[in-house]
């Protein structure tokens, strides 16, 4: 049982490290064209946004956040203007701190 808990903790650390790297990449704003769509969705979920899907539109909303983020894939990547919108929301509401799911 202890081994399973340790493995789970290690996998969570890896996932958080990946989310942190993606968050930093988004906040830098130097590679908006190179953000994987699925990872962007995962980041928003980690930031406690609620997700619903309508066709290819992935719609994210969060209580206390005025904006609704509507993102779509362009191949396997997120669209650059939508990455910019996500960055603006993260900065405006100061998301990504310890209180936001340890990112």
pLDDT in tens, the chain (103 residues): 434 334 444 554 545 588 889 999 999 999 999 999 999 999 999 999 999 999 999 999 999 999 999 999 999 999 999 999 999 999 999 998 755 554 5
Distance (Å, rounded) from C-alpha 92 to C-alpha 102? 18
Closest CA to 22 of 43, 5, 4, 38: 43
pTM of the model: 0.79
The residue written with tokens 């719609």 in the block is: 59
Query: Where do runs of H (alpha helix) occur along 1-103?
Result: 2-28, 37-46, 80-92
Distance (Å, rounded) from C-alpha 101 to C-alpha 103? 6
Q: What is the pLDDT of residue 7?
A: 47
């Amino acid at each position: 049982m202890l081994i399973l808990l340790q493995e789970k903790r290690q996998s969570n650390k890896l996932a958080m490290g990946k989310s942190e790297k993606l968050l930093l990449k988004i906040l830098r704003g130097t590679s908006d064209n190179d953000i994987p769509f699925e990872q962007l969705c995962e980041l928003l979920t980690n930031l406690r946004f609620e997700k619903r899907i309508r066709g290819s539109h992935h719609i994210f909303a969060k209580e206390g956040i005025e904006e609704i983020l509507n993102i779509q894939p362009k191949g396997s990547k997120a669209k650059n203007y939508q990455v910019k919108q996500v960055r603006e929301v993260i900065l405006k509401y100061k998301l990504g701190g310890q209180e936001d799911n340890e990112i």
